[in-house]
Amino acid sequence: MSDANSLIPVRTPLRTALLLAALFASITFLIHFVSSLWGSHLGYGYFRDELYFLVCGHHLAWGYVDQPPLAALQTRLAEMLFGLSPTGIRILSFFAAGVTVGLTGLLAWQLGGRRTAQVLAMTAVLAAPVFLGTSNYLSMNSFEPCFWMGALLAFLRLAEGTAGPRAWLVFGLLAGLGIENKHSTVFFLAALLMGLLLSPQRRILWTKGCAAGVALLLLLALPNFLWQWVHHFPTYELLSNVAHSDKNIKLPPIAFLIEQAKILLIFAAPLWIGGLAWLAFARKARPWRFVAFTYLVFLAMMMALHAKDYYLAPIYPVLIAAGAVALGELTRRSWPPIVYTAILGCLLCFVSAPLILTILPPDKYIAFAAHFGTSKMKSEKYTSPLPQILSDRFGWPEMVEGFAERYNALPPDVRAQTAIFCNNYGEAGAVNILGPEYGLPTAISGHQNYFYWGWNGYTGESVLTLGEKREDYTSSYAEVIDLGPFDAPWIMDFEHRHYFWLRHRKLSYAADWQNFKHWY
């Protein structure tokens, strides 16, 4: 037997691993589903991005200014299958959350972990605040670890030599879909390539199977690339605008690492740190050494680019799985993983879930969070009474009702030519998704992909909008009338604005639309 084959672990039956993965995937799905239903009962509504994704889903394309096509397609499918409601449109994201947890168990199995290691790894990912948060609403982030870890699972088997050439097609399919889901997958794949080149497993790159997998990956990524090319790469322009602004909070390396521990749950840090060390140094982990290199390269990339702390999150399930396996190898007993699992399960129930999911009323949430001295660290500069992931679910119905009250108070002949202009895609999405019930017209905006959707034939003769102060409009409109404030509890601080009625724009929208482009 060759030395390479001698390092392949004796694994528990695959059927048992699959059943455990399916069980934890189901539990994960139910946690998100029930918390979303309960949150709707408590008043938590659509998340800001969900409203935008819904509108994108009504304008299906191969790309958008700020995203590839899969999020919009996911939203459209969810709306068609499960109806237009906060919980309905999130069903597929809840399913993805379950798949992520299940894949973590399969990764632990692949790395040679026993059942206790598989359960520990899946519990750790389920309890991690970052995965609870990004999967509790419709988003690109919920599917991101599914594509990454699914592709990596295929790669692990290829690296150890237990998978045939068809596994390359699985890798190419999942990696290509990952790019069509979120462009950050390109950075993950670049780090994976670097990790392989730094390890003996680089030999698998020079095979026909690899060429076929990469060809499938490129074929799947091609439609969005062509869309970007035709539109002069708007996503690059957007990212450049953000990089040269103060929108995101830029963390130094040590602070960035501390945030990694926080978003994954402090008590789970020994797992992923230990998993990284095991992959990097353990003899039994030699066939998968490239995973440690991949993580370190990816970490360096994200630090250099001043990425948001959660951009690194989708790579952690494999480190957590490795850490669970390493604990089993170190102790050779069942009780340490069982005790660790019990601790993480308690932390999920009594810390992570109440702090991240929509299960506490806002006033009780603030009192509860105060006991834990939750970090004030944010990834963006905006402030809010609750964490942004919760505050951004409030105020949309009240805002739309305010527009409807003022729109319907206009004389019929004026109303027919009155546009509703919104400064950001959240406001515009709320009007376009919730507004038809009140007879509101389609809102227009220059923010993100709304710029491409245009001004809908409006001239600017009569416009309703939300803004900060009257002086912001006097240079462009002959008449600016303050129609009173918009306010609602728990909303983002910058959404406390005034309704304005703008009359007789000095330059029409058609003549001046280019100046409304707001990619930020």
DSSP string, 71-117: HHHHHHHHHHHH-SSHHHHHHHHHHHHHHHHHHHHHHHHHTT--HHH
Q: Is the pLDDT confidence value at 383 over 50?
A: yes
Q: Indicate whether 211 and 332 sit together in one domain.
A: yes
Phi, psi of 230 (to 5 degrees): -60, -35
Contact 492, 388 (CB under 8 A): yes
Q: Edge-to-edge strands of the sheet including 477-486?
A: 418-421, 462-467, 497-505, 477-486
Are 358 and 487 members of one domain? no
Q: Is residue 236 part of a domain?
A: no
Residue 447 and residue 477 in contact, taking contact as beta carbons nearer than 8 Å = no
Count the alpha carbons within 13 Å of 57 in the hemisphere toward its beta carbon: 24
Torsion of CA 355, 361, 363, 367, to 10 degrees: -40
213, 313: one domain: yes
CA distances from 381 to 195, 238, 378, 408, 472 (A): 34, 17, 7, 36, 22
State whether 116 and 214 are in the same domain: yes
Q: Are 97 and 112 in contact (CB under 8 A)?
A: no
* The amino acid at 496: H
* DSSP E strand stretches across 364-476: 418-421, 462-467
As a whole number, the mean pLDDT across the chain is 95
Confidence of residue 379 (pLDDT cuts 50, 70, 90): low
Find how far residue 35's CA is from the centre of its chain: 18
- Say what percent of the chain tops pLDDT 70: 97
Flag whether pLDDT at 348 surpasses 90: yes
Tell me the average pLDDT across 112-138.
97
Residues 344 and 400 grouped into a single domain: no
CA neighbor of 149 nearest in space, from 273, 39, 314, 26: 314
Contact 270, 323 (CB under 8 A): yes
Residues 262 and 146 in one domain: yes
What local confidence, expressed as pLDDT, does residue 206 receive?
93
Confidence label for 376 from pLDDT (cuts 50, 70 and 90): very low
| Contact status, residue 63 vs residue 181, Cβ threshold 8 Å | no
How far CA 191 is from CA of 155, 157, 196, 439, in Å, comes to 14, 18, 9, 50
Nearest to 289 by CA among 194, 377, 355: 194
Of 363, 384, 404, at which residue does a domain stop? Answer: 363
| Assigned domain for 128 exists | yes
For residues 520 and 245, the answer to whether their CB atoms sit within 8 Å is: yes
* Residues 325, 442 share a domain: no
Does pLDDT of 46 surpass 90? yes
Q: Is residue 69 part of a domain?
A: yes
Tell me the whole-structure pTM to 2 decimals. Answer: 0.94
Hey, what are 335's tokens?
Answer: 């009780």
Q: How far is 221 from 183, CA to CA, in rounded Å?
A: 10
**Within a domain: residue 4?**
no
For residue 46, give Cα distances in angstroms to 93, 103, 287, 394, 476. Answer: 14, 28, 45, 8, 33
Q: Check whether residue 400 and residue 346 sit in a common domain.
A: no
DSSP 383: -
> Cα–Cα distances in Å, from 416 out to 240, 437, 473?
39, 17, 22
Domain boundary among 363, 379, 409: 363
Q: DSSP 3-state assignment of 485?
A: strand
pLDDT in tens, 133-168: 999 999 999 999 999 999 999 999 999 988 899 999
In what helix (H) or strand (E) does residue 140 lie, and over which residues does it extend? Answer: helix 140-160
Task: Assess whether 428 and 320 both reside in one domain.
Answer: no
- pLDDT, tens digit (0-9, with 9 covering 90-100), for 273-310: 999 999 999 999 999 999 999 999 999 999 999 999 99
Give how far Cα 460 sits from Cα of 266, 282, 481, 507, Å: 53, 67, 14, 8
Sequence length of the chain is: 520
pLDDT score of 247 more than 90: no
Distance CA 418, CA 407 (A): 8
CA–CA dist 176, 147 (Å, integer): 9
239 in any annotated domain: no
Measured from the Cβ of residue 318, the count of other Cβ atoms closer than 10 Å reads 31
Give the domain-ending residue among 345, 363, 381. 363
| Residue 378 is assigned to a structural domain of this protein | no
Tokens of 114: 């026993």
Residues 292 and 412 in one domain: no
Residues 206 and 308 in one domain: yes
- pLDDT at residue number 499: 98
Q: Is residue 254 part of a domain?
A: yes
Strands 477-486 and 497-505: antiparallel
- What phi and psi values does residue 420 have, to the nearest 5 degrees? -110, 110
Would residue 276 count as lying in a domain? Answer: yes
Looking at residue 458, its amino acid is Y
Residues 6+ apart with CB under 8 A from 343: 267
Average confidence (pLDDT) over 12-41:
97
Average pLDDT for 62-84: 98
Element (H, E) at 278: helix 269-281
Q: Where are the beta strands (DSSP E) in 422-506?
A: 462-467, 477-486, 497-505
Whether residue 414 sits in one domain with residue 298? no
User: Can you give the residue range of the structural domain that contains 340?
Assistant: 12-231+245-363
Domain count across the chain:
2
Q: What is the pLDDT of residue 249?
A: 80
